[in-house]
Amino acid sequence: MADKKSGGKCFLVGAGPGDLGLVTLRARECIEQAEVIVYDYLSNAEMLKWAQEGAELIYAGKTAGAHTLTQEEINRLLVEKTEAGKQVVRLKGGDPFVFGRGGEEAQALAAARLRFEVVPGITSAIAGPAYAGIPVTHRGKNSHVTFFTGHEEPEKSGTAIDFAALAKLGGTQVMLMGVERIEAITREMLAHGVRADLPVALIRWATTGRQETLVGNVGNIAERVATSNFGAPAVAVFGDVVTLRDELNWFENRPLFGKRIVVTRARTQASALSEQLRALGADIIELPTIRIEPPSDLRTFAELVQDAHSYDWIVFTSPNGVTAFFEMFYKLYDDAREIGPARIAAIGPATAQRIKDFHLKVDLQPEEFVAESVLREFNKQGGVENLRILLARAEKARDLLPRELSALGAIVDEGFAYRTVPETRDDSGARRRLLEEGADLITFTSSSTVENFMALKLPWPEKMQVASIGPVTSNTAREHGLTVAVEARRHDIPGLVAALRKFFLGPVEDRSR
């Protein structure tokens, strides 16, 4: 590389077409290490959750209305931050060098003699068609692919699209940008001898849960766009390969495709639920309402953990409680045997699993997080009278368990292992998306998700229904005036996913297994 003026470096990173799973490992690594991230409208902003706490996130825009930086300002910003010695990530939709002006940004860095790297991404030009069931090449249908831009500034006559050349070339042609100009573009194509029945597909918001595909031919696609309110961002595929979609449309045929579902869990915990629903095809808005933090009185909790061995039972009511407990435990002790003779109870399968993750056996596991179920299990083991029980739980938890255990003669200590606080940040723009696009359903996985969502005082999107993980959460929802449409029968994430599946699809056989 040229003269290294500073330790700074700029990474021009392809963010892929939208599906979070289509981001490269290298891109994720860059995001995780970045001190400054400059991102666009098209890159899925959810990937910002991989950024370090405290990374500077700069929105460069490109959405109508919002303040956006000009290309010159972006170039200058990248140069400035890199010159200041920062690890800078410039996150761009798709591939940075495919109609993304990444080349210009690289030139600006090169001119300033700054170090940079390019991380190619999956371009919407290929992924878009693929997610619409259209292979861009297919034996017997075409032997070459052309990418072109439909967005040309009229005054720059030198760079105008060469329709004569395109018409002669044939093959598969993928157009980025320019759905707004589809009428003029298809008119030019016809005038240059392209056949009117050449198949065309437009794929909008490709690879995301809100993907939409419009199919037609060069002769009628403009009219179809006009009558269906179809708009940007979309890729257009021209060519006989489009007909393969009839057989190969895999993405839009998944069971929950077209359903928009809000996930309100804390950012760090949302992924299991989001991933399972996404795998079924749902469009997920991750709108975390809470964040997990250490308890207000960490010292008292530490003292209880230190004495854990002196209890007959340690009862865990959530995976978070387990994690907080053992993180503290292994700060205090370096030998697992210090837990002594205490037996371990875990409420719900997810809690039990977290205990197993710490290589401990669960002695008692009520299936349900309702006091009766817990008491019933304890009774099977001879009751709780005079037993010393440590309950590791969230601050301000609402269940009746400690009182009921005490009423049966147990000596109960409550250890507040963590607390949930309202999530105040909205870097991924989830709240804005919910307001603009609405949703079919919102999921609540604890009372605090209900309370904190309601505290945001967002207007309730029309027709948005409520799903709850269990009776305690449902009650809180009802106290807030909500009607619960779905309640999980098993009070954990797989239980909630199963309930949603049934709710949307009816009790059908699961063919995916």
Q: Active-site residue numbers?
A: 40, 62, 177
- Please, which residue, 31 or 391, has the CB nearer to ligand SAH? 31
User: Binding residue for ligand SAH (CB under 6 A) from 75, 82, 207, 447?
Assistant: 207
Q: Binding string, 8-27, against ligand SAH, x = CB under 6 A?
A: ---------xx---------
Residue 74 makes contact with ligand SAH by CB under 6 A: no
- Please, which residue, 100 or 470, has the CB nearer to ligand SAH? 100
Angle at 484 between CA 462 and CA 498, to 5 degrees: 105
- Please, which residue, 149 or 381, has the CB nearer to ligand SAH? 149
> Cα 64 to chain center, whole Å?
23
Angle at 378 between CA 375 and CA 379, to 5 degrees: 85
Q: Binding string, 25-44, against ligand SAH, x = CB under 6 A?
A: -----------------x--
Stretch binding ligand SAH (CB under 6 A), from 199-207, 307-315, 360-368, 448-456: 199-207
Q: Where do runs of H (alpha helix) occur along 161-311?
A: 163-169, 182-191, 221-228, 245-248, 270-279, 298-306
User: Binding residue for ligand SAH (CB under 6 A) from 200, 234, 322, 352?
Assistant: 234
Contact present, 37 and 31 (Cβ < 8 Å)? yes
Residue 129 makes contact with ligand SAH by CB under 6 A: no
Residue 134 makes contact with ligand SAH by CB under 6 A: no
User: What is residue 15's DSSP assignment?
Assistant: -
User: Binding residue for ligand SAH (CB under 6 A) from 8, 128, 129, 415?
Assistant: 128
Residue 206 makes contact with ligand SAH by CB under 6 A: yes
β-pairing, 87-92 vs 36-40, is: parallel
Contact present, 290 and 421 (Cβ < 8 Å)? yes
Residue 332 makes contact with ligand SAH by CB under 6 A: no
Residue nearest to ligand SAH (CB): 94
User: Binding residue for ligand SAH (CB under 6 A) from 58, 69, 145, 177?
Assistant: 177
Stretch binding ligand SAH (CB under 6 A), from 94-102, 185-193, 445-453, 455-463: 94-102
| Closest C-alpha among 381, 392, 369 to residue 315 | 392
User: Binding residue for ligand SAH (CB under 6 A) from 82, 123, 213, 289?
Assistant: 123
β-pairing, 411-422 vs 290-293, is: antiparallel
End-to-end CA distance of the chain: 52
- Please, which residue, 17 or 429, has the CB nearer to ligand SAH? 17
Minimum distance, C-beta of residue 40 to ligand SAH, in the bound complex (Å): 9
- Please, which residue, 98 or 305, has the CB nearer to ligand SAH? 98
Residue 233 makes contact with ligand SAH by CB under 6 A: yes
Residue 415 makes contact with ligand SAH by CB under 6 A: no
Residue 288 makes contact with ligand SAH by CB under 6 A: no
| Closest C-alpha among 20, 40, 90 to residue 277 | 20
Residue 205 makes contact with ligand SAH by CB under 6 A: yes
Q: Which residues share a beta bridge with 111? A: none
What does the DSSP assignment read for 298-350? HHHHHHHHHTGGG-SEEEE-SHHHHHHHHHHHHHH-S-GGGGTT-EEEESSHH
Residue 119 makes contact with ligand SAH by CB under 6 A: no
> Cα 479 to chain center, whole Å?
29
Residue 133 makes contact with ligand SAH by CB under 6 A: no
Dihedral pair phi/psi, residue 257, rounded to 5°: -60, 135
- Please, which residue, 286 or 487, has the CB nearer to ligand SAH? 286
Helix (H, G, I), strand (E, B) or coil at 379: helix
Contact present, 236 and 201 (Cβ < 8 Å)? yes
Residue 232 makes contact with ligand SAH by CB under 6 A: yes
Q: Side chain identity at 393, as an amino acid letter?
A: R
User: Binding residue for ligand SAH (CB under 6 A) from 38, 74, 78, 176?
Assistant: 176
Contact present, 353 and 344 (Cβ < 8 Å)? no
User: Binding residue for ligand SAH (CB under 6 A) from 94, 133, 349, 429?
Assistant: 94
Residues that bind ligand SAH (CB under 6 A): 17-18, 42, 92-95, 98-100, 123-125, 128, 176-177, 203-207, 232-235
